[in-house]
Chain A
């Protein structure tokens, strides 16, 4: 046990307490939290800055609007429902088609209008929001994901999480939905985390439920050595999120759309620590390298260069 502790210290594994105390407290001012906790605000910010996001179809803020849900959604053959202030992917529904007020989820389940209305009503009631307070429901474009990951995705949309520290993308991983995660890309819901090499944009290791694996457990395809397309774009956008929000320690989530390229899905002020397992590397050493810079690098492009060329662990 003691040897493990020493090895964890040596490789710079970041623990929950240190993440909160040294990074979230010091680099993420409390007043900026609404910018990232509320996906609607994040979307507006990103749109103003010209960052690609999944287009927003509808916003429902009042319970009485739920009555008109079927009419409001009629123009969209497929869409995604999200709570604006949800955490950890809770409360997200992906509808792949609709017909006669019956909605088909990506896992094949059919929802009635009534069930969909109840889900939206729960979102407004605050069931999925962080403090349990009232929330709004967002309806947005469903990603047609880039076929590059189709061999290693069971259902749903794979996404890319980048940890950005003082504007420098320090670590990244690809999150692949599995049968267990029901199309969601969150690790605690059973999704698969695959480490990405920052310099090359190539996947290296994978982890599921804290265990290392090399093949997708459902499709059986090799997880290692896949190159993430638009890697430079992704890193650059991630780096720009620092100026966008002012937050020093961020998790930026991207999806790769077949037609629209990388889209910023959401930002997270308290990004999880499992990314370290997926990369088989500790975050702390890389964070220290960024802290050791004599002065912050002003341009996002400069920071990406620093990340790709100088981050060494």
Chain B
């Protein structure tokens, strides 16, 4: 074999990879850097109540697939209930019903939302909406009429009238008639409701929007309210907090009405809560998936055309070569000793779920506990395969015990230990104990630390967001990694540790 062949092969691989990516960047205009402006949220509504041994009907408003957010996916966990979804002019509603139910009931609605790529009209019903009937009578009606008349005098059209009304409602200097109608409750919700009623007197369609602040990533998301007013053939948003027309873009419009989110018939002790979870990992794939679909053959037959879950899997798989190249560098260029060839990479993959510090802690914990039990097994003089099986069982027991303990202690991270590759842990314990016995404890600890070091660094590398995006969008970069590993396979120079090992030979005398 011509030794040059290796270099030609590597060069060819690099050229192929670079030309494919150049085509993607300059012709198809794929983004080189991840675009993080589009996020994906998982929003969950939990409903609990007690049924009273008679027919039960639960109605829940649902977010709609329009406005500033798109509904990508939704799930209902309904148990024994029948489910019906209806679309109204301004709302979407789910109704769960059951002929007979008793005891504590539990319903769940889960929706995945994405920021809309092209935001459409917030409430897109084509025909002119109806004005609600005037809700006032007597003294209230007089006050309301007075307010509207006064506003009419000071405004040119409906737009300026609404503006004036909002200033009145949000400002500190309130007309005494407004103060009368508003009462003591100055919350944005109450002010919005008052605005809707007053606009009904003026003959302008309006409604309150109930929404959720998607930045409150807590167990109970903050509910927000604003006003929508119809004029000039369009709905207009009004922020009740500052009277402006600006609604923060993280406010999700959920339903429009003066009714609560959940209504219940045939039960009591109703409790509902909305929780929001931001999923930035999915964001990228979502954007890539829908934003670029159907542009070119190269894209159509690329990873971006795969279902989202498979894409998510490839996000991880494609990073493995990055970790492996690092491992090769560490072993053949530096000379770090590790237990097993690919063990550090598998550990690094497990770190993805546990996060680095917890991962290191859990790994050290399981390996050191497992090691001490392995030393005890050594005294029992067990045959090799049964001994390995025993260590594996012990490892699984340790994993279960650590999960339960950490959960009880309120450390949910500890649960992620279940994702450690148990066979790899077992083999690590076994090999470490043998090295311990044969080459001494310092060698065993040295190799253990070496493995952990390589695993941690590989984890950090494999989780660089920029690199992940880059490799995912340009998987041909793996050809460059292949070229690199082929070249490293022909590296015959010294390892870094050999400079220390052969120190005496490197000194002149």
Q: Which residues of A contact B (CB under 8 A)?
A: 1, 3-5, 7-8, 11, 13, 15-18, 21-22, 63, 90, 114-115, 118, 121-122, 125-127, 188-189, 207, 210-212, 273, 276-277, 280-282
Residue of B nearest to A212 (CB): B504
Q: Are A18 and B505 CB-contacts (below 8 A) given A126-B384, A127-B434, A189-B439?
A: no
B498 at the A interface (CB under 8 A): yes
A127 to B384, CA, bound (A): 7
Q: B309 on the interface (CB 8 Å rule)?
A: no
Min CB distance A245 to B, Å, is 24
Residues from chain A with a CB closer than 8 A to the CB of B503 are: 4, 210
Given contacts A21-B492, A118-B381, A127-B434, contact A16 B506 (CB under 8 A): no
Interface of A is mostly: helix
Q: Which of B438, B492, B495, B507 contacts A4 (CB 8 A)?
A: B507
Interface residues of B (CB under 8 A from A): 332, 335, 381, 383-385, 434, 438-439, 490-495, 498-499, 501-508
Known: A7-B507, A90-B438, A276-B502. A17 touches B384 (CB 8 A): no
**Are A18 and B335 in contact, CB atoms less than 8 angstroms apart?**
no
Residues of A contacting B381 in the complex (Cβ-Cβ under 8 angstroms)? 114-115, 118
Contacts A1-B499, A121-B383, A127-B434 given: A17-B505 contact, CB under 8 Å? Answer: no
In the complex, are the beta carbons of A17 and B506 less than 8 A apart?
A: no
**Cβ distance B446 to chain A, nearest Cβ, rounded Å:** 12
The answer to whether B507 touches A122, judged by C-beta atoms less than 8 angstroms apart, is no
Find chain A residues with CB under 8 A from B385 CB: 125
Once the chains bind, are A4 and B499 in contact (CB under 8 Å)? yes
**In the complex, are the beta carbons of A11 and B492 less than 8 A apart?**
no
A5 contact set on B, CB distance < 8 A: 494, 499, 506
B506 touches A7 (CB 8 A): yes
Taking CB atoms, residues of chain A closer than 8 Å to B507 are: 4, 7
Instruction: Please report the C-alpha to C-alpha distance between residue A156 and residue B10 in the assembled complex, in whole angstroms.
Output: 51
Taking a contact as CB atoms under 8 Å apart, the answer to whether A125 and B490 are in contact is no
Q: Give complex CA distance A63, B386 in Å.
A: 14
Q: Are B495 and A17 in contact (CB under 8 A)?
A: yes
Whether A7 contacts B438 in the complex (CB less than 8 A), given A22-B492, A114-B381, comes out as no
Closest 5 CB pairs of A and B: A125-B384, A4-B506, A118-B381, A18-B492, A15-B494
Q: Shortest beta-carbon distance, A125 to chain B, in Å?
A: 3
- Report the separation of the CA atoms of residues A122 and B387 in the bound assembly, to the nearest whole angstrom: 10
Q: Contacts of B505 on A, CB cut-off 8 Å?
A: 7-8, 11, 13, 276-277, 280-282
- Knowing A15-B494, A17-B493, A22-B492 touch, does A8 contact B499 (C-beta < 8 A)? yes
CB neighbours (8 Å) of A16 from chain B are 335, 495, 498
Closest to A134 in B: B384
Contact B506 A15 (CB under 8 A): no
Q: Using Cβ atoms and an 8 Å threshold, which residues of chain A touch B502?
A: 8, 13, 273, 276-277
Bound together, the chains give a CA A236 to CA B495 distance in angstroms of: 34
Contacts A1-B499, A4-B499, A18-B493 given: A277-B504 contact, CB under 8 Å?
Answer: yes
A8 touches B504 (CB 8 A): no
B-chain residues with CB within 8 Å of residue A281 when the two chains form the complex: 505
- Determine whether the beta carbon of A15 is less than 8 Å from that of B508: no
Residues of A within 8 A of B504 (CB): 207, 210-212, 277, 280
Residues on B with C-beta less than 8 A from A21 are: 490-492
A8 vs B384: C-alpha distance in the bound complex, in angstroms?
43
16 A-B pairs with CB atoms under 8 Å apart are A4-B507, A7-B507, A8-B506, A11-B506, A13-B502, A13-B506, A21-B490, A22-B492, A63-B383, A121-B383, A122-B384, A125-B384, A210-B501, A277-B501, A277-B502, A280-B505
- Besides A4-B507, A5-B494, A7-B506, 14 new A-B residue pairs in contact (Cβ under 8 A), listed by A number: A4-B506, A7-B507, A8-B499, A17-B492, A18-B492, A18-B493, A21-B490, A90-B438, A115-B381, A126-B384, A189-B438, A207-B504, A210-B503, A211-B504
**Residues A17 and B494 in contact in the complex (CB < 8 Å), given A115-B381, A125-B383:** yes
A11 to B498, CA, bound (A): 14
- Cα(A125)–Cα(B387), bound, Å: 11
A140 to B204, CA, bound (A): 106
| Complex: chain B residue closest to A121, CB-CB | B383
Instruction: Report Cα–Cα, A231/B99, bound state, in Å.
Output: 101
Q: Whole-angstrom distance between the alpha carbons of A114 and B434 in the complex? A: 20
Query: Residue on A with the closest CB to B434?
Result: A127
CB distance from B252 to the nearest CB of A (A): 57
- Which of B494, B503, B505: most chain A CB closer than 10 A? B505
Asked whether A17 and B439 contact (CB < 8 A) given A7-B506, A121-B383, A127-B384, the answer is no
Give A129 to B506 CA distance when docked, in angstroms: 35
Taking CB as reference atom, which chain B residue is nearest A207? B504
| Chain B residue at smallest Cβ distance from A211 | B504
Docked pose: A173 CA to B504 CA in angstroms: 17
CB distance from B497 to the nearest CB of A (A): 9
How far is B500's CA from A210's CA once the two chains are assembled, in angstroms?
9
CA distance A242 to B155 in the complex (A): 107
Closest Cβ–Cβ distance, residue B3 to chain A (whole Å): 10
Docked pose: A5 CA to B501 CA in angstroms = 12
Distance from A272 Cβ to chain B, minimum over Cβ atoms (Å): 11
CA distance A114 to B379 in the complex (A): 12
Q: Give the chain A neighbours of B501 by CB distance below 8 A.
A: 210, 273, 277
* Chain A residues with CB below 8 A from B498, complex form: 8, 13, 15-16
A290–B494 alpha-carbon span in the complex (Å): 22
Contact at B495–A15, with CB atoms within 8 Å? yes
Q: How far is the CB of A157 from chain B (nearest CB, A)?
A: 18
- Let me know if B383 and A8 touch, CB within 8 A: no
The distance from the CB of A186 to the nearest CB of chain B, in whole angstroms, is 10
Q: Which B residues lie within 8 Å of A13 (CB)?
A: 494, 498, 502, 505-506
A89 and chain B: residue at smallest CB distance = B438
A136 to chain B, nearest CB (A): 14
C-alpha spacing A5/B493, complex, angstroms? 10
Q: How far is the CB of B120 from chain A (nearest CB, A)?
A: 62
What residues on B are CB-neighbors of A4 within 8 Å? 499, 503, 506-507
Give Cα A22–Cα B492 distance, bound, in whole angstroms.
8
Specify which chain B residues have a CB less than 8 angstroms from the CB of A90 in the assembled complex: 438
Determine the chain A residues whose CB is within 8 A of the CB of B438 once the complex forms: 90, 189
From B332, B383, B499, B508, A17 is in contact (CB under 8 Å) with B332
Chain A hits for B506, CB < 8 A: 3-5, 7-8, 11, 13
What is the CA–CA distance of A211 and B134 in the complex, to the nearest angstrom? 99
In angstroms, Cα B501 to Cα A281, docked, is: 14
- Considering the complex, give the chain A residue whose CB is closest to the CB of B443: A188
Q: Which of B332, B434, B499 has the most CB of A within 10 A?
A: B499
Closest to A122 in B: B384
Instruction: Chain A residues near B494: list those with CB within 8 A.
Output: 5, 8, 13, 15, 17
- A174 and B203 alpha carbons, distance in the complex (Å): 107
Residues from chain B with Cβ under 8 Å of A125 in the complex? 383-385
Residues on B with C-beta less than 8 A from A276 are 502, 505
In the assembled complex, the CB of B496 is this many whole angstroms from the nearest CB of chain A, namely: 9
How many angstroms from the CA of A189 to the CA of B439 in the assembled complex?
6
On whether the beta carbons of A15 and B439 are closer than 8 Å, the reply is no
Q: Which of A22, A125, A281 has the most CB of B within 10 A?
A: A125
